[in-house]
Every structure is written in C-alpha cells, then in structure tokens.
Amino acid sequence: MKVAITGLTGFLGHYVAKRLFAKEIEIVSLARSVSNTLHLKDYEKKIAFIRGDMTDKETLRKFLHGADVVIHMAYERNGASFHEAANRDLKRFVEANLLGSIELLDASRRAGIKQCIFISSCAVYGHIFPGIKLDELHPLLPDSNYGAYKASVEAFCHSYFMSKAFDVTIFRPVGIYGINPHLAHSAWYNIAKDIRHGINVEVSGGGKVVHVEDVAQAIDLAIGNKEAAGKVYNLVDFYVDNISVARMVRDICDSGSHVSGTPRQPIHTIENAQSRAFGVSYTGMEGLKGYLRELIKSMS
C-alpha cells in the first residue's frame, strides 16, 4: 500500500511516520521547500519527499501518483499559533490552506485515490448548543477562522464521499500533547522548565487534551478500513487544568517551587464514545504523567 501524506514534517506527522514505519507501507510526503525533515531521519528510508505545496497541480500529480490513501494533516501557519495564523493574513490563509485543500481533494479524485483521511479539529463546533450532546452529530457553528477553515474542508470531504469519488474519514482532535521534536514547542514546556529550576509559578486556564500517540493510533486504525468510510470521530481523552499539571511537574521534580492559581473546570464535555468503539485506546491520566516525566527528563 502506498500512502501520500501532507504535514508529515510537523509534530503529529513525526508520530504518524513512527507508527507506519514498522508496517508494509510505502510513504510519500508532500513537503514545502522550507520544511525541516531532520527529525524524520530515522524513518527516511521509507519516505519519498516531494517538494512543493498544495496549490501547484503538477506537484500534486507527482505526489499522488500511484497512491492508495491520502492523509491530509498539513496546515501552513509559518510559526504562528493555529488561530493566529488564521487571523494574520486571511487572503493568504485561505489560498494556502482552504484552496490548497480543495486542490488536493480534486487531484485525489483525478488520481484514483481510494481513501482520504482528514485531520480536522474540535474547533469546528465553536458555539455549543445547550441541551445537545457534544458528539459528532452536534451542529457546526465555528467561532474562529481556524474552525471555519476546518469545517469548510470537512464539507468538501463529505461532498467527494457522497459523490463516490473516494472514501473519507475525518478526525476531530482537541489539544494534542506529546514530546515535540522541537522540544521547546512541547505542551507545558515553560511551566515545567520554571518548576524544574525552582521558580515559583502562577498558572491559569486548562483544556481538553489527547496524547499525540493516540491520534496517530486513530489514523493507523483508519487506513484502508472500510468501516471508517464516511465517519467522523472526536479524539479527546480528558480535561486538565494547568494548575494540576504544574503540581504534577512539581511532584515529579521534587521541586520547591510554589504553584499558585485558580483551578478551572470545563464547561462542556466532548463525547468520545464513537472513537472508543472504533478501537482508539486513550492513555488517560497515566499517559499525561508519563509524558511529563519524559519532558522533564528531556530537559536534563
């Protein structure tokens, strides 16, 4: 099987490459000319890189040639946060990401791709309607440009699936955490660094999270899986407030840091029953603690 992947050079892509490396899968990666591939060197013997972007039809033709499955994870943000990138230059954002995604889907149809797996986001929900369960059938009313982009690509994915162009599977992860190949970009890095050095910290906020390896697992489960055709899956493990994370770090480090802040509770709970039934096994709180231990150890 040949799998064409956009966004393989990113954070999530590193873990997808790691997971697929042990399988009998040929991988081709679409990578921009400025993309760094050094963190993929352990898996490079199974990866063919096509340099270019999704707005170029000839690049897409080469990228998709002979592929069975396309996994679309790419999101051009040039170092900004996900939401900042969508607000900074809207015209450029739409051209690079939304129009690029549509070009990719149409090129996939022409190339005879059998399946497209799109990594969306729970940001597509935006406004949460009271009294309606927050599962995959909840209405989409994005409250950000980023969420609107993801919801738009989802709509085009459904259109291609309903017209029988190819099978489609969509994943909607919440905040993804894990060791980033660029360590300082890892979740809660600055909090952990300060506490490790005995600095007092005041923290606030929190969010719904999922481990990066759980997301990679879900993608792996979907590849070539007819049961996933036309399906959408929330990928969410649990909610954690940042003061709880800081206290965990303090205990792991046996630090003398004073941690202050007000714990924050979630307003809504996102349902993950469908992804669990699909076979995704979440790492839970033990996964978070294991990640924090690994993060602190990586700082040594």
Q: pLDDT tens for residues 43-64?
A: 888 899 999 989 899 999 999 9
Read off the pLDDT band of 234 (50, 70, 90). Answer: very high
Phi and psi torsions of 148, nearest 5°? -65, -40
pLDDT category at 225 given cuts 50, 70, 90 is very high
Quick one: pLDDT band at residue 69, thresholds 50, 70, 90?
very high
pLDDT at 102: 97
pLDDT tens digits, one per residue of 257-275: 999 998 888 889 999 999 9
The CATH 3.90.25.10 portion of the chain extends over 177-208+237-298
Please check the confidence at residue 33 and state whether its pLDDT lies above 90: no
Q: What tokens were used for 245?
A: 């994370």
Helices (H) and strands (E) in the chain, counts: 11, 12
Cα separation, 76 vs 55, whole angstroms? 12
Pick the CATH number of 2-176+210-235 from 3.40.50.300, 3.30.1440.10, 3.40.50.720, 3.40.350.10: 3.40.50.720
- Contact (CB, 8 A) for 105 and 163: no
Residue range 177-208+237-298 in CATH 3.40.50.1860? no
- Other CB atoms within 10 Å distance of the CB of residue 142: 18
Amino acid in position 112: G
Choice between 162 and 266, residue whose per-residue pLDDT is larger: 162
| Residue of higher predicted confidence among 41 and 148 | 148
Cα R_g (the chain), whole angstroms:
19
- DSSP code per residue over 223-269: TT-GGGTTEEEEE--EEEEHHHHHHHHHHHHT----EEE-----S--
* CB contact at 8 A, 171 and 118: yes
Residues of the chain with CATH 3.40.50.720: 2-176+210-235
Q: What is the mean pLDDT of residues 91-109?
A: 93
Put the strands of the sheet holding 206-211 in their side by side order.
175-177, 206-211, 238-241
The pLDDT score that the predictor gives to residue 267 is: 86
- CB-based contacts of 291: which residues, under 8 Å, 6+ apart? 177, 178, 179, 187, 211
pLDDT band at residue 78 under the 50/70/90 scheme: low
**Segment 176-196 mean pLDDT:** 96
* Predicted local confidence at residue 45, as pLDDT: 82
- C-alpha 232/C-alpha 121 separation (Å) is 11
Which amino acid does the sequence have at 255? S
The angle formed by the CA atoms of residues 273, 279 and 282, to the nearest 5 degrees, is: 70
Mean pLDDT in residue range 24-43: 85
Q: What is the pLDDT of residue 89?
A: 80
| Short-list 166, 186, 167, CA closest to 176 | 186
Q: Specify the pTM.
A: 0.95
172 and 122 Cβ atoms separated by less than 8 Å: yes
Is the pLDDT confidence value at 192 over 90?
Answer: yes
User: pLDDT tier at 82 (50, 70, 90 boundaries)?
Assistant: low
